[in-house]
Amino acid sequence: MGLFDDETEGSPPPGPSLFGDAPEDNTPKAAAYRVLARKYRPKTFGDLIGQEALVRTLRNAFAMNRIAHAFMLTGVRGVGKTTTARILARALNCTGPDGNGGPTPDPCGVCENCIAILADRHPDVVEMDAASNTGVDDVREIIEATRFRPLSARTKVFIIDEVHMLSKAAFNALLKTLEEPPPHIKFVLATTEIRKVPITVLSRCQRFDLRRVAVDVLSAHFTRIAAAEHIAIASTAIDHIARAADGSVRDGLSLLDQAIARGAEDGAEISAAMVADMLGLADRGFVFDLMDAVVAGEAAKALAIADDAYERGADPGVLLSDLLALAHLLTRMKSVPTLASSSTLPEAERTRGAALAQMLSIPFLGRLWQMLLKGIQEVETCPDRRAGAEMILIRLCHVADMPPPGELLKKLTENPGASFSGGGAGPAPGSGGARAVAGGGMVMAAPRALTFQDVVALAANKRDVMLYAHLRQSVHLVRFAPPVIEMRLADGTPRDTVPKLAAMLEAETGRRWTIALSNLPGEPTIDEAEGVATAKARDEALNHPLVQAILAEFPGAKVENRHTAPEPEEAEIPADWAALVPPDELYEGDE
């Protein structure tokens, strides 16, 4: 409560002025509105929700008279860090209704200290925003103030919010006082970025991690507040707000304030549809429809859905981000089936999401995640964001039924002459052998002949770094006739290279492979061949008349690297392979 709570801010004090009595104003004045986040801010430890571990520890500390001299409160925004600091200040200084009480975890709220701290006007409870006061001089003022005893309270409390914003010099200046403060001083530090706080500061504080508040706890809390405010709001609307709050009580109360203002125009019950529209959840169905179209490989339908979303004001990049988030959710539901029945998920995720997760495979979802992740980056750098998003959607639709690399390798070994076009998105027949694709790997055009480079690429896809390195650097290929590989290994190659290679190929193809060691020289290793090709290309470039003329014109100039423009493709290549296979440099060398 402020000093002049009955008056509006900035109004003159009551009574006559220097220039005579002011005319009487009988106009009723509306009371200043307080947002819900301030009106229902917890006043005691019992009012805190979702922080049971913190409350239990502090209560025990007061009961055993083992109260630390410095506290570090950390957690996401809106979970109660500053509120807890103020409750601590009141608990340390409460004198009870009779004025004779001591430190207690349940401050009375009626003594002078409790009232003054609640009104943010107690001279012995000092709050400093480190985001605005980052320098060493600000900290020195605090250090100087610790030399003096409290004016009226039992304990002088310094609350430093967003403490991670202090400068290095400010932290260093605070260390000694923080470690050995006078007995009448307590520090309460709060931060959302605990990793930015020096370990030397953390080691001097008792740390408490405030958790995100669960959705069901938030829903119950918001329901109680809505009832206290005499607001009619549907339970499903409350659930929407609780999920959108993302564990933050303050964020949720701000959204509840907004929903009340939105529904106040007609006085009817605030519905779930109204809140969903306010939160932007009304377009959630677009994301599921888009995922259905992508999974079915229906490019025209996917583009139509994207166009509709765009006309409604949706950003193309945000639409892909929502699709990425849905891919993550489906992968989680596939890995943890019980998630489909969780009350923390909206109805659409529990019904349509569960059906999609049951239909799709983990390899497909992993490939979808990789392509969307790369696609979002492309959209951010694309001059036309809408065109970039549409190209990503077309790419996703055309590779929806492409087999994963392991399955493709298995089919190729069983039938080397077979052609797998992947739902009409593959290269046209007769377009030649393997060709490099910009952005990654090798794509086999019909007739697709399996090569040793495909085996090396498989090792890279399996993230077997050692096997991949030895296949490139130590293997001199003598004969490659799947399922038989004859090779010579360079000196010093680990003995387990052969069995590891055989086990990987058998696991991928479902058949036994014969890996034979030979004394014949064999071909150069992949690294050696690429080095020779790079050197030859560089020599050819250096001998070019134009290059010679430039070098002669600019003495001392030298050629560092050679870059060539990509050759035009002979047929349409499914672009998703760029996210599934190693980059071109693994085969073409660093030019």
**Within-domain flag for 51:** yes
Give a yes or no: residue 17 inside a domain: no
* E strand or H helix that includes residue 129: strand 125-129
CATH number at residue 346: 1.20.272.10
Look at residue 166 and tell me if it is in a domain.
yes
pTM metric for this prediction? 0.59
Question: What is the reported pLDDT for 536?
Answer: 65
In this model, does residue 492 exceed pLDDT 90? no
Task: Examine the domain organization and report whether 474 and 588 are in the same domain.
Answer: yes
The pLDDT score that the predictor gives to residue 335 is 87
Give the model confidence (pLDDT) of 230-260 as tens digits. Answer: 889 988 889 889 888 888 999 999 999 999 8
Does residue 9 carry a pLDDT above 50?
no
Q: Give the confidence band of 559 by pLDDT, cuts at 50, 70, 90.
A: low
What pLDDT is stored for residue 433 in this prediction?
A: 33
pLDDT for the residue numbered 415: 59
**Residue 395, Cβ neighbours under 10 Å: how many?**
21
Same structural domain, 570 and 465: yes
Specify whether 58 is located in the same domain as 167.
Answer: yes
Residue where a domain terminates, one of 165, 186, 209: 209
Same domain, 162 and 89: yes
111-116 mean pLDDT: 92
Count of beta carbons in the 10 Å neighbourhood of residue 562: 14
- Kindly tell me if the per-residue pLDDT of 19 is higher than 50: no
Looking at the domain assignment, is residue 1 inside a domain?
no
Q: Are 203 and 298 members of one domain?
A: no
* Domain of residue 253, CATH code: 1.10.8.60
* 169 is a domain residue: yes
Give pLDDT tens digits for 434-447.
333 323 333 333 33
Answer whether residue 396 shows pLDDT above 60. yes
User: Other CB atoms closer than 10 Å to residue 521's CB: what's the count?
Assistant: 9
Q: Could you tell me the pLDDT band of residue 313, with boundaries at 50, 70 and 90?
A: confident
Distance between CA atoms of residues 497 and 469, nearest Å = 10
Q: Quote the pLDDT of residue 225.
A: 93
Average pLDDT, the chain: 79
Mean pLDDT to the nearest integer, 266-274? 79
Lowest mean pLDDT among 14-28, 210-224, 322-336: 14-28
Give the domain CATH number at 160: 3.40.50.300
**Burial classification of residue 398, based on how many CB atoms lie within 10 Å of its CB (0-12 exposed, 13-18 middle, 19 or more buried):** buried
pLDDT of 163 reads 92
Has residue 3 been placed in a domain?
A: no
Residue 18 reports pLDDT greater than 50: no
CA atoms within 13 A on the CB side of 66: 7
288 and 427 share one domain: no
Tell me: do 125 and 227 sit in the same domain.
Answer: no
Note the pLDDT of residue 280: 67
Q: What is the pLDDT of residue 535?
A: 67
318 and 188 together in one domain: no
Which of 372, 398, 424 marks a domain boundary? 398
Q: Which DSSP state fits 73? A: E
Looking at the structure of the chain, the number of domains it has is: 4
Pair 462, 412 in one domain? yes
Task: Kindly state whether residues 428 and 516 are assigned to the same domain.
Answer: yes
Of all residues in the chain, what percent carry a pLDDT higher than 70?
Answer: 75
pLDDT reading at 425 higher than 60: no
The more confident residue out of 545 and 76 is 76
Asked if residue 96 belongs to a domain, the reply is: yes
Supply φ then ψ for residue 358, to 5 degrees.
-70, -30
Q: What percent of the chain has pLDDT over 90?
A: 30
List pLDDT tens digits, range 121-178.
999 999 998 888 888 888 899 999 888 898 888 999 999 999 999 999 999 999 989 9
Residue 426 clears pLDDT 50, i.e. is over it: no
pLDDT at 441: 34
What number is the average pLDDT over the span 330-336?
Answer: 88
Domain final residue, candidates 209, 235, 254: 209
Q: How far apart are CA 420 and CA 405, in angstroms?
A: 12
The contacts of residue 476 (CB under 8 Å, 6+ apart) are 487, 488, 489, 490, 521, 522, 523, 524, 525
Q: Is 396 in a helix, a strand, or coil?
A: helix
Note down the domain range covering 261: 215-279
Asked if pLDDT for residue 543 goes beyond 80, the answer is no
Q: What is the pLDDT of residue 534?
A: 66
The reply to whether omega before 416 is within 30° of 0 (cis) is: no
276-284, long-range: CB < 8 A, 24+ apart: 276/240, 279/240, 279/241, 279/244, 279/255, 281/240, 281/244, 281/346, 283/309, 283/312, 283/314, 284/346, 284/348
Whether 448 and 421 share a structural domain: yes
pLDDT value of residue 427: 32
Q: For 473-492, give one letter per residue: b (16+ CB within 10 A) or e.
A: ebbbbbebebbebbbbbeee
pLDDT, residue 485, reads 92
Mean pLDDT (whole number) for 37-53: 90
Is residue 4 assigned to a domain?
A: no
Confidence of residue 33 (pLDDT cuts 50, 70, 90): confident
Query: Does 429 share its domain with 557?
Result: yes
Residue 476 pLDDT more than 50?
yes
Q: Is the pLDDT of residue 87 over 90?
A: yes
